[in-house]
A and B are shown apart, each in its own frame.
Chain A
Amino acid sequence: GQNIDQPTEMTATEGAIVQINCTYQTSGFNGLFWYQQHAGEAPTFLSYNVLDGLEEKGRFSSFLSRSKGYSYLLLKELQMKDSASYLCAVRGGSYGNKLVFGAGTILRVKS
């Protein structure tokens, strides 16, 4: 099976940098996704990693280490609108090509 762990909640200050970690155990691996979900809304796609290393997209970056079963999402220059839940999802393993999601990390940005 698959197991995905993320911290439940984090708090950070506007303008700062925050790193949200995700660790996973899977019998197969075919990519890791990060989604952002504001309260009461649908998840929206942020990033995709399938090879080791860092993918940068503006203020958001995502890192993957397949050997360690580890990823992080880095948010720079935090804004109040970044307050949301961040979902880590892994493709592969017992559910074939489908995604398995972690429970999500609630990020609160304070002024």
Chain B
Amino acid sequence: DAGITQSPRHKVTETGTPVTLRCHQTENHRYMYWYRQDPGHGLRLIHYSYGVKDTDKGEVSDGYSVSRSKTEDFLLTLESATSSQTSVYFCAISAGQGTDTQYFGPGTRLTVL
């Protein structure tokens, strides 16, 4: 199994508060991704990173920001959480070569009240 951890695994917060989710990898993979998963929508890409300090937007980036100051860590921040951001958040990594398969972390269940 790819060495990917996410923290926290569960979080309940209130509308308007900032929230930061962390993804940590031990594989030294170049690419890291943040997805959200909601019933009926499947996995949707929020932001991704193709190297330290190199990030770009995905399909559903509004209301989210990311940072990657080290190869192993990719942070997702909700500047001011809203109820529509209640979801399960998955981090994924890929090597950026070969089949470039993405491997997923265990997920974070976020509830915004």
Q: Which residues of A contact B64 (CB under 8 A)?
A: none
Contact B43 A98 (CB under 8 A): no
B66-95 Cβ-contact flags toward A at 8 Å (1 or 0): 000000000000000000000000100000
Q: Is the interface of B mostly helix, strand, loop or mixed?
A: loop
Interface size, chain A (Cβ < 8 Å): 22
**Which of A10-18, A37-45, A63-71, A75-83 lies at the binding interface?**
A37-45
Are A33 and B45 interface neighbours, CB within 8 A?
no
Within 8 Å CB of A101, what residues of B? 42-44
B45 & A99 in contact (Cβ 8 Å cutoff): yes
Measured in the bound complex, the distance between the Cα atoms of B90 and A58 in whole Å is 28
Going nearest first, the 9 A-B pairs with the smallest beta carbon separation are A103-B42, A42-B104, A101-B43, A101-B42, A48-B99, A43-B104, A42-B106, A45-B101, A104-B42
